[in-house]
Amino acid sequence: MNENMLLAIMQDSFMTLVLIAGPILLTALVIGLIVSILQATTQIQEQTLTFVPKLIAILLIFVVMGPYFISVLTGYFNRMVDYILIIT
């Protein structure tokens, strides 16, 4: 294994991480911002008001984007197996 292959593996790992975690984190961020604006305008400071909508939105993201996540992870697994076969 040389340095270029190691850098390619690390780049592939980080890109897979961004592709999987990005939509989830972006959804939580947007829902949190919307709920925070609602709380600021109505002056309701209830902690569960931020937690429950985020949880529901994240679960919906998993349901809607589940096949995409599986395909990204399957591609990543196949590439890692190819790297292992190249090394040995």
Q: Are 32 and 51 in contact (CB under 8 A)?
A: no
Residue 43: what pLDDT? 85
pLDDT along the chain (88 residues), means of 10: 89 96 96 91 83 94 96 96 89
Q: Where are the domains of the chain?
A: 3-87
Residue 50: what pLDDT? 84
Span 16-39, pLDDT tens digits: 999 999 999 999 999 999 998 998
Share of the chain above pLDDT 70, in %: 100
Rg (CA), the chain: 19
Q: Report yes or no on whether pTM surpasses 0.85.
A: no
